[in-house]
């Protein structure tokens, strides 16, 4: 299958806005992959697939996660916004036959990050923040950081997310905190 086949698959699984977002994330991931030395073809595919299950209802997402023999932590059970990354990583293996662990992990950790991310994982994480249609406050700041290094871009993205969660006493992802600490340790 080529990238257009995968675009056709996601097209019927989501609304127009999310489809546009997915296409834009894919394009931005390719750009960042070329800039930072990740595989552009894998970046294109991971970008297209990253939100594949975001519009699948939560009950069904839990079934998908369960079918992948993944046990959610208590915190993960409470943060249903993060389920699509986990269910998406299982879905692309089981339904689409994707076997490349780097693509699977890029989908799995695109929302939280984690310690020990590959270049491809970082590229997809960052592309999700900086894709063309994004217009939240500070998007220009993170776009500038993304030109300095993948890690500086990610650090700002994780800070942005953690700050928002702290403001409303949201649950913090341990994976996100570990990604944050690792970037600071290696700075």
Q: Residues 128, 151, 175, 182: which binds Fe ion (CB under 5 A)? A: 128
Task: Of 24, 16, 96, 21, give the one whose Cα is nearest residue 64.
Answer: 96
* Token reading at 20: 């546009």
Across 25-142, where does the E strand assignment appear?
none
Cβ atoms of 38 and 120 within 8 Å: the answer is yes
51 binds Fe ion (CB under 5 A): yes
Q: Nearer Cβ to Fe ion, position 20 or 185?
A: 20
Rounded to 5 degrees, what are φ and ψ at 134? -65, 135
Nearest-approach distance from CB 23 to Fe ion, in angstroms: 11
182 binds Fe ion (CB under 5 A): no
Q: Nearer Cβ to Fe ion, position 56 or 185?
A: 56
Q: Nearer Cβ to Fe ion, position 135 or 185?
A: 135
Nearest-approach distance from CB 131 to Fe ion, in angstroms: 8
* Token reading at 93: 């293996």
Stretch that binds Fe ion, among 4-12, 93-101, 123-131, 168-176 (CB under 5 A): 123-131
175 binds Fe ion (CB under 5 A): no
For 91, 93, 141, the CA distances from 99, given in Å and listed in that order, are 11, 6, 35
Residues near Fe ion (CB under 5 A) are 51, 128
């Amino acid at each position: 299958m080529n990238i257009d086949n995968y675009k056709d698959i996601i097209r019927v699984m989501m609304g127009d806005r999310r489809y546009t977002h997915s296409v834009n994330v894919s394009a931005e991931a390719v750009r960042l992959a070329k800039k930072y030395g990740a595989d552009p073809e894998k970046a294109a595919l991971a970008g297209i697939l990253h939100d594949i299950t975001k519009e699948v209802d939560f009950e069904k997402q839990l079934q998908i996660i369960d079918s992948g023999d993944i046990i959610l932590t208590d915190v993960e059970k409470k943060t249903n916004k993060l389920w699509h990354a986990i269910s998406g990583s299982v879905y692309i293996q089981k339904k689409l036959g994707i076997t490349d662990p780097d693509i699977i992990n890029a989908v799995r950790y695109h929302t939280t990050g984690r310690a020990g991310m590959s270049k491809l994982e970082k590229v997809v994480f960052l592309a999700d923040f900086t894709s063309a249609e994004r217009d939240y406050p500070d998007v220009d700041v993170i776009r500038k950081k993304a030109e300095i290094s993948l890690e500086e871009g990610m650090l700002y993205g994780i800070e942005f997310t953690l700050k928002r969660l702290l403001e409303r006493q949201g649950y913090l992802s341990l994976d996100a905190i570990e990604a944050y600490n690792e970037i600071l340790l290696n700075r």
